[in-house]
Structure 1
Amino acid sequence: MSEPMTVLNSDREILLEVRDLRVEYATQNGPVEAVAGVDLTLAKGEFLGVVGESGCGKSTMLFGIAQLLNPPATVSGGEVLFKGENLVAMTAKSLNALRWRDFSVVMQSAMNALNPVHSIGRQFKDAIKAHARWPESQIKARSAEVLELVGIDPVHLKSFPHQLSGGMRQRAMIAMALLFTPDLIVMDEPTSALDVVAQRSLMAQIKELQKQLGFAVIFVTHDMSLVSHFSDRLMVMYAGQVVELGGTRAVFDAPAHPYSRGLLDAFPSIRGEVKRLTGIPGAPPNLGRPPSGCRFHPRCPVAMERCSVDVPELYLVDSVQARCLLHEPAAVSVEVES
């Protein structure tokens, strides 16, 4: 078994614990496992970034944690313990009582997530009324307060989604997620439709709000540079599995998995010497027929013969964990002796 995944600061209280989470999609050719045994812990007030190529299972994992999967996707195994309660075993009614109040979700496309025929204020009001019996004056005051928190004039409570820019719609979604000041906000690529300047501005605002209000964040993105300065820890996913997990700076400074190194080599740095971008050859595998052994071995520049046979676990490498046979304790000891 792999070492248990630890939080960045051991003195923080554990908010979320995911144990062996598995998500399958039903297809005509049989079930396809899109999330294959993910384990993670998240502490109160922690910012966890989740990165990887499109199709690696990031969003599916996120929706599995939040219990927002729709057929043909289903959680086929594992537990999601939020403040000690297993979300996987909860009824829809119990989950609805927790959403927005205790944990919130910010979707990838705010234009699709927001109702186009209702004003922002009306949608905030509906979310509040689903969980609390507040007087009208309190609803208006709180709606205006959360909009101001994300830098939007409360006058836009009367606006409809199409009257706001892409960045403002994303901020409005974050404001809605903050209505009850939840302990956890999960974000599925909320910056993907924004330009670079708007992305940076939104990320800075999310981090500032997190410091101010103390909520934890799971932030899914395919852009490693987005989370490089904002996340406490970084989880790298490939083909439905966690391949590396550790402090963000540790992963960026010395990536332990060849896939993490490939991702870092695929985006430019604005500092230091100019380097040629190399990228990762090939394409992610078909999860209906995943490769044997290490799932990354067909694309790995340092693959060994046994990589196509032996299934690696998550091995502790200094302060991070990496799913690579190069870090298997037996292989490391042999290397040192030679």
Structure 2
Amino acid sequence: MTLLSVDDLTVRYDARDGPLHSVNGVSFAIDDGVNYALSGESASGKSTTAKAILGLLPDHAEIESGEIEFEGRDLRSLAPSERQDLLWEEIAFIPQTAIDALDPVMSVGAQIRQAIQTHREVSERRARRRAHELFETVGLDPDRVGDYPHQFSDGMRQRVVIAMALALEPKLVVADEPTTGLDVIVQDRIIDNILQIQEETDSSLLLITHDLSVIAETCDEMSVLYGGTVMEQGRVENLLLNPANPYTMGLKNAFPALDGDADGLVSVPGTPPQLDEKSTGCVFEPRCPFATEECATTTPDLRDLPYRDQRVACHNAERAAQMRREADSATTWGGAAEGSRPDADDVVLEVDGLRKWYESSESLFGRLPVDGVSPTVTGFTNSLSRWYARRGELLREVFGGGSHIRAVDGVSLSVSRGEIRGVVGESGCGKSTLGQTLALLEEPTDGGFTFDGQSHEHYRDGNLRSFRQKLQIVFQNPYESLNPRLTVETLVKEPLTIHGYRLDERDAAVRETLERVGMAPAERYLDKYPNELSGGQRQRVAIARALVIDPEFLICDEPASMLDVSLQAEVLNLLRSLANTEGIGVLYISHDLASLTRIADRLSIMYLGRFVETGPTERVVSDPRHPYTEALLAAVPETDPRGGRDRVTLRGEPADPEGSPGGCRFAPRCPKATERCRESEPELDAWTDADHSAACFHPAEGSTAEDSARIDEPAEVD
């Protein structure tokens, strides 16, 4: 039975500069009990399609044509009151950013009860009981239904939104990028959560995502969208194992995999179409390495492939097998990093026992006056104040006096010229604080580092300008790190002016650097503002700003985590090429272990302020020795829909970095923890083999007899 049917949907946005044809004739159907995915890059039309189904399009968008039916009912003809009755009751929505979807001045339990009581006449007691049941269903502590959104982690907030969406047991759940930007551990838990709940409730899923691995593990059927049109659709295993459209091939090969070729990360060249005009040929033709003359002049129809439950819009689909073989190589797409991996010992950054602690203090909310504030806001501020106060009391009882947040707690590492050093861990592990401290945006609490032969004290003592020219940092979000009021030319030229560098040739330096990061010809971009660029182009501008003054070192803090897979590949390939050809040292901070395996020479796994494993990338991935590393690797989803990976579910959430650890800081979540682990903390060299080390008393199988004997020896007592 068909649950949802979308036929020839066309949506237009009336923008300031003219109409944008966002969705152009999209058709698909979801049967009862089927999980369906819409995939593609940003601006492909997938989110607009979902909003059209839900009736959530903005005022400047219009459905020009097409039919949308849910169980035979025409959704476009519903009155607002009828649509309100349908939403949540039969069709629920999980948005991408849970923090924006939750009311900060209402407890999460109250918001779930509100969703229930808006649609059904139930007592307050029954609604409360249902909220507790939902918390248990999504793996949250039912005693926390009275907490506010700020008291939960990102992953926990996302599970709250999932609980709210499932409160009325809808027949269809529409999830828009529900795991984007989350740690692999949290993402894995949420995927598992959704699948378990679906099995219990027998609901269907419409998943909007660019993450093919999530699709492979959750969905039965899919459509790949590009430029507002369907490029390919059918069974997930058919599209991911035997794609027939070059665009699907490019997306698949751009996705980083743990077992992929380290030198073969594909980046689809060019950028998505502007959609201000309807295409007269194949919309993907300008970026397709297999395009012919026919592709430029004739739009391909979406047609069935013989002997397969698969439809494709491509003039060259009969050559799909040959195209797949050629598409596996990055050179087909005009890419591949230049040069070879470094082997020099020319160390540019040496870090020794670095610590960055923050003093705990009373929350601002505890000092805010509440007279004259509404009861809802007063309850929120009082609750938050009591929560912070009680936590401080407990810490003082346990540790005595004041306490500290040990964001970075004794980290040592080195990075050579031309080397990429990856730092991986969950949110809150201290990796971003490490990067900011090494960039001297934060002052070290203890320990220190040497950069280019000089100590960090030397640079802080009146030499910061020379330090900033040698070491640059690229931040995670190009939407926030670039001044929206400045053109690309001004943004890239600004560092030259600040440092008085190449003043006589600033214009030439700006153009050279933009083309160096793949924005050629530079003249096309000089007068553009950030809002006129794609996410990948913005991040290239951010990297150009860092490179224009010829630094010796880059600190990259999650520079690709918010980008589509193809744009991620662009940034990763660019950094690898810069390291290889220009000898720039790179510290790359990320929670995406799969991406780092494609470009990093060495990896450091970080947990609650300390490194728990470090070594050459290939050895850490193929022979992990710390249980936390094993969990991170096991949580990476696979793009092969036939795969049946074993999930490793860590108990609980990361511990609070506040206060002094009583033993191994991973012990509360570790499946191998013993009494010794809970009493004393292992050093990074508790297990070591050449330059591969782990802070674990019980390393994974594979350690030598000598290693096992050494780590199991009792510690000497003074």
Residue 270 of structure 1 aligns to which amino acid in structure 2? L
CA distance in 1, matches of 2:58, 2:80: 13
Alignment check: 8 A CA contact 1:291 1:308 kept: no
Q: Which amino acid aligns with 1:327?
A: A
Match in the other structure for 1:140 = 128
Q: How big is the shift at 1:263?
A: 0.3
- Contact 1:315-1:327 at 8 Å conserved across structures: no
Residue 270 of structure 1 deviates from its aligned partner by 2.6
| 2:199 pairs with one of 193, 205, 211 | 211
Corresponding position: 1:162 with 2:150:
yes
Alignment partners' CA distance in 2, 1:227 and 1:92:
32
Of 55, 58, 62, the match for 1:67:
55
1:293–1:312 CA contact under 8 A, matched in 2:
yes
User: 2:34 is matched with which residue: 19, 24, 46?
Assistant: 46
1:126: which partner in 2? 114
Is residue 285–residue 291 contact of structure 1 (8 Å, CA) maintained in 2?
A: no
| Residue among 54, 63, 70 paired with 1:82 | 70
The residue that corresponds to 2:310 in the other structure is 320
Equivalence for 2:88: 100
What are the within-5 Å matches in structure 2 for residues 207-286 of structure 1? 207-271=195-259, 276-286=264-274
Alignment of 1:296-307 (within 5 A): 296-307=284-295
Q: Does 1:193 align with 2:181?
A: yes
- Which structure has the higher relative contact order (CA within 8 Å, separation 6+)? 1
- Give the 3-state SS of the residue equivalent to 2:10 in structure 1: strand
CA deviations on 1:102-139 (whole Å, 9 max, x unpaired) are 11001110000111110011111211121111011110
Contact 1:104–1:186, Cα closer than 8 Å, also in 2: yes
Distance in 2 (CA, whole Å) between partners of 1:45 and 1:254 is 24
Distance 1:209 1:202 in 2: 10
- Distance in structure 2 (CA, Å) of the matches to 1:272 and 1:161: 39
Q: Which amino acid aligns with 1:153?
A: D
In the TM superposition, what is the alpha-carbon distance from 1:278 to its structure 2 partner?
1.6
8 Å CA contact 1:50–1:234 kept in 2: the answer is: yes
| In 2, Cα distance between equivalents of 1:82 and 1:215 | 14
Amino acid at match of 1:68: L
Shift of 1:272: 6.5
For the pair shown, which has the larger CA radius of gyration, 1 or 2?
2
Q: Kindly provide the amino acid, as one letter, of the partner of residue 73 in structure 1.
A: A
Determine whether 1:184 maps to 2:168. no
Tell me how far 1:271 sits from its aligned partner.
3.7
Number of residue equivalences = 318
Q: Is the 8 A contact 2:94 2:161 kept in 1?
A: yes
Match of 1:4 in 2: none
2:232 and 2:312 map into 1 onto residues whose CA distance is: 4
> SS where residue 231 of structure 2 aligns?
strand
Secondary structure of the equivalent of 1:229? helix
- What's the CA shift for 1:327? 3.4
Displacement of 1:193 in angstroms is 2.9
Q: Specify the SS of the correspondent of 2:100.
A: helix
| TM-score, structure 1 normalization | 0.91
Q: Distance in 2 between matches of 1:200 and 1:79?
A: 35
Deviates more, 1:167-176 or 1:31-40: 31-40
Q: Distance in 2 between matches of 1:315 and 1:206?
A: 33
TM-score by length of 2: 0.43
Question: Is 1:166–1:193's contact at 8 Å kept on the other side of the alignment?
Answer: no
1:310 deviation in Å? 0.7
Amino acid at match of 1:320: Q
Counterpart secondary structure, 1:18? strand
Structure 2: distance between partners of 1:68 and 1:131: 19
Deviates more, 1:157-166 or 1:271-280: 271-280
Q: Secondary structure at the match of 1:185?
A: strand
Which residue type is aligned with residue 76 of structure 1? E
Match of 2:140 in 1: 152
The separation in 1 between residues aligned to 2:309 and 2:6, in whole angstroms, is: 20
Deviation at 1:21, TM superposition (A): 1.1
Find the residue that maps to 1:23 and give its secondary structure: strand
Assess, with a 3 A threshold, how the Cα gap between structure 1 residues 263 and 137 changes in structure 2: closer, same or farther: same
Range with greater deviation from structure 2 (269-278 or 40-49): 269-278
Task: Indicate the SS of the match to 1:218.
Answer: strand
Q: Deviations over 1:19-49 (max 9, x none)?
A: 1111111123332110111111101111112
Secondary structure of residue in 2 paired with 1:125: helix
Secondary structure in 1 matching 2:89:
coil
Q: Mapping of 1:7-26 within 5 angstroms?
A: 13-26=1-14
Matched-pair contact (CA < 8 Å) for 2:9–2:66: yes
Which ranges in structure 1 are unaligned for 5 or more consecutive residues?
Answer: 1-12, 333-338
Q: In the TM superposition, what is the alpha-carbon distance from 1:74 to its structure 2 partner?
A: 2.3
**Aligned residues of 1:59 and 1:188 also touching (Cα < 8 A):** yes
The answer to whether the 8 Å contact 2:21/2:277 transfers is no
Measure, in 2, the Cα distance between the counterparts of 1:120 and 1:159.
Answer: 6
- Alignment partners' CA distance in 2, 1:132 and 1:23: 33
Deviates more, 1:120-129 or 1:25-34: 25-34
Secondary structure of the residue that 2:18 maps to in structure 1? Answer: coil
